Amino acid sequence: MRVTRYAFAALAALCVGALGPAWTARAAEPLVIRNGWVVISGDMAPLVFEDPKLTHLKKYGETYTVEPIHFKGTSPQITALASGQLDIAGLAYSSFALAVENAHLDDLRVVADGFQDGHPGYTSIEYMVRNGGGISKVEDLKHKIVGINVIGAAVDIGARSVLAKHGLQYPGDYSIIESPFPAIGAMLLQGKADVVSMVPPFNYAPQVEQGAHTLFTMRDGMGTSQMIVMVARESFLRAHRAALDDYFDDLVRGIHWMLDPANRPAALKFVARVAKQPEAQFAPYFLTGKDEYRDPNGMPDLQALQRNIDTQVKFGFLKHSIDVKKYADLSFVERAAKRYKTETASR
């Protein structure tokens, strides 16, 4: 009996020893972060994670990996967040407020900057009309068709804001149709819309530059906008704080690499490869003053975000405003920025 007991104990120890490393490896597998995006050249995440060696990421593949998930607009990402199919989303200011107010995602938190529109010294989203189309001023859009990617999106609110300043109200004075960003330029040139919202890189397509011109910009109606914010649910942030610290450390590191003028030639080749588009399409604007602004440390402009959401209330997209500071957790990018500063100072 004693021999059998010892034999059993030895066998159990052997099994634990044999299975232990495998179990530990499984337990230590990197966190897979499902990261939403709309235009790959717009958001720094998930772009910088597409080539961890190039962008000098340190923890990618060790404590976390990124699974990019494409959406035609920011609004559909709300459903994915609510259903647990997405971990970090890039939401426009319009979608963020809708997620909190209408989808009741009270635990949603702004965690980082996506990009800012109309920032001093940088571009603003253009609303373009056909050359020779008979539209020379905003008032000419009465009874015309406005093309945007998604009704209720930030570019929709930006257009309505400008048109309202010129006495045009929806739906009585104009109509709105939807089209994905890659197709919206062709829709304008084919006469299916009279003015359309154009974002980089699509406004720099040769046929668009030759056949259309800018009538107004989002900045004309909104001023500086916190156009895209990175968001996540508080439960996800709380459950994976250590891995997410590494994610945001690498995000800030990658943004700094992308924004370094010395790296622009390599960054152009990189974004063209990831987007599967000619490099010449990005060369005129990408990472210059003709591009949208990205904060180097991933810090969003919460004051601009508050103004943007208040504008949504004005146009009836929201019944009530929200205090954005209550829905922000900037601790990750704040820690990441401090660590990056320390890291670079010691070189």
For the segment 113-161, what is each residue's pLDDT rounded down to a tens digit? 999 999 999 999 999 999 999 999 999 999 999 999 888 778 898 999 9
Between CA 277 and CA 274 the distance in angstroms is 8
Domain ranges for the chain: 29-119+226-345, 126-222
Q: Residue 74: its pLDDT value, please?
A: 86
The answer to whether 98 and 104 are in contact (CB under 8 A) is: no
Return the structure tokens found at 14: 């052997």
Q: Residue 7: its pLDDT value, please?
A: 42
Please name which of 247, 226, 257 lies closest in space to residue 114, comparing C-alpha atoms: 226
Read off the DSSP letter of residue 29: P
Q: Which residue has the tokens 């034999």?
A: 7
Q: Give the alpha-carbon dihedral of 145, 150, 154, 158, to 10 degrees.
A: 0
Q: Residue 177: its pLDDT value, please?
A: 96
Q: Residue 293: its pLDDT value, please?
A: 96
Please name which of 118, 81, 48 lies closest in space to residue 293, comparing C-alpha atoms: 118
Between CA 161 and CA 272 the distance in angstroms is 33
58 Cβ neighbours under 8 A, 6+ residues apart: 246, 249, 250, 253
The answer to whether 145 and 118 are in contact (CB under 8 A) is: no
Return the structure tokens found at 153: 């999106």
Read off the DSSP letter of residue 201: T
CATH number of 29-119+226-345: 3.40.190.10
Return the structure tokens found at 181: 């960003």
List, edge to edge, every strand of the sheet that includes 88-92: 64-70, 31-37, 88-92, 225-233, 108-117
Read off the DSSP letter of residue 48: G
19-48 as b/e: b if 16+ CB within 10 A? eeeeeeeeeeeebebbbbbbbbbbbbbbbb
Please identify every stretch of the chain with a pLDDT value under 50, giving residue numbers as ranges: 1-26
The answer to whether 232 and 89 are in contact (CB under 8 A) is: yes
Element (H, E) at 286: none
Q: Do domains 29-119+226-345 and 126-222 have the same CATH topology?
A: yes
The amino acid that residue 310 corresponds to is: D
Domain 126-222 sits in CATH 3.40.190.10: yes
Q: Residue 157: its pLDDT value, please?
A: 87
The answer to whether 157 and 163 are in contact (CB under 8 A) is: no
Q: Which residue has the tokens 């994610």?
A: 247
The answer to whether 341 and 187 are in contact (CB under 8 A) is: no
The answer to whether 248 and 57 are in contact (CB under 8 A) is: no
The answer to whether 196 and 127 are in contact (CB under 8 A) is: yes
